[in-house]
Amino acid sequence: MMTEIDPVTLARIQFATNISFHILFPTINIAMAWVLLFFKVRFRQTGDQGWMDAYGFWVKIFALSFALGVVSGVTMSFQFGTNWPGYMQTVGNIAGPLLAYEILTAFFLEAGFLGIMLFGRSRVPEKVHTLSTLLVAGGNTLSAFWIIALNSWMQTPTGHVMRDGRAHVLSWIDVIFNPSMPYRLTHMLLASGLTVAFLIAGLSAYRYLRGERGRGMMVALKTGVFLAALLIPLQMFVGDMHGLNTLKHQPAKLAAIEGIWHTEKDVPLLLFALPNAETRSNDYAIGVPQLGSLILTHQWGGEIKGLNEFEQHPPVAKVFWSFRVMVAMGGLMLLASWLAAWQLKKRGELNPKLARLLVAMTFSGWIATLAGWFVTEIGRQPWLVTGILTTAQAAGAATAPMLFTSLGTYLTLYALLLAAYISVLFHLARKAGAPELAAAAQLKEKLA
């Protein structure tokens, strides 16, 4: 029974459920705002109404995603007090101000100009409307900056001192720009860009398969495909740099990612394995000799510290497989985006099979982002704040039955909301193309 599970584990599952649902929407909003700005700028540069048609369609999806992101974020703030009171008691002097900075400098900025962006185009000068779109985009990115700064500090804390069991700031610069923050922020921003690129490409390919060839749909399709083709190699490069940073500052997490139990050189790159925590080895391992050392250390025969060297380390199987899901999805993104970019550049159209693949990958960015987020968060265990506060120490007094009931409520609600969100997106896509398809059908009847 779920109620027999340790309350700390249930609290972790509940928070993971909340943050997994919440992160879906900021991941869209961060990059979508910049894509909308791109559409707007291209319209002003060229006067091509197609760019404004693309803006008009995608700003609706941005507004819907923004609303769900705000609402789902509220539940997490409550959980800091109900499920994790030890968190703010121990590191509130750092977490509190960083969360406040996010609200004061980012949320107020984007919320303040969102109304003009959504409803003010016919009421304000064109330049003011464009500026509003820019400020909303900047606010979204600034919000990501503060949240990633806090999360990165929890991973690689610096710039503080512990007094009487509480963290006190010595240097805000060191707290904010902690060792992993630049890599983590860049990785997240690129993940947002890829999520939006495939969302745009997927929904546009859906409209393409329905027979639409309108200018607004085509510019959106090309934007999504070419943006994905550009960003995925950058993401792979940044991911490699982030890996080197993790090797230096979080070696136990890296060892779990690669399933390395014993310290060794000439480490193979494991393509498949079943990590076995009881025998502290990998069952059915398939790997490429020495390639792991080369990728992880950038040296042939580089030494990697194994999990057996650490008194505490994260659960290996979850981190190991989450990472491989992320990498596999990245490889599929590379293949799909480059093939689609080549076809659009060479022929100006998409092969139906490739268009169907893009539709199937509409939400592939979500899968990759969640897998990467699981690597990040589970890979930090058993620590909530590395070296300072364990997850168990931060947990509150909520009982298993209470947590089980609220978890079931969250899961049901989020499943319904997610299904509704996806269905609305495809409904909007069908509705946007209805006039063009109706006109084409009338023309066909006349010619017949």
The pLDDT tens digits of the residues spanning 127-160 come to 888 899 999 999 999 999 999 999 999 999 999 9
pLDDT above 70 as % of the chain: 96
What is the maximum alpha-carbon separation in the chain? Answer: 85
Number of residues that this document lists for the chain: 448
Report the alpha-carbon angle 329-261-321, nearest 5.
20
Rounded Cα distance between 307 and 287, Å, is 18
Instruction: Over range 415-438, report the average pLDDT.
Output: 84
- pTM, two decimal places: 0.91
Contact between 394 and 10 under an 8 Å Cβ cutoff? The reply is: no
Q: How confident is the model at residue 200 (pLDDT cuts 50, 70, 90)?
A: very high
Cis peptide before 125 (omega within 30 of 0): no
Indicate if the pLDDT at residue 444 is higher than 60: no
Indicate if the pLDDT at residue 85 is higher than 90: no
Q: What is the pLDDT of residues 162-197, one digit of tens each?
A: 998 899 999 999 999 999 999 999 999 999 999 999
Q: What is the pLDDT of residues 311-346, one digit of tens each?
A: 888 899 999 999 999 999 999 999 999 999 999 999
Query: Which candidate, 290, 287, 180, 176, places its Cα nearest to that of 244?
Result: 180
**Segment among 82-91, 170-179, 393-402 with least mean pLDDT:** 393-402
> What mean pLDDT is reported for the chain?
88
Instruction: Over range 221-234, report the average pLDDT.
Output: 95
Indicate if the pLDDT at residue 239 is higher than 90: yes
Number of Cβ within 10 Å of residue 121's Cβ equals 20
Contact between 223 and 199 under an 8 Å Cβ cutoff? The reply is: no
Phi, psi angles (nearest 5°) of residue 284: 55, 40
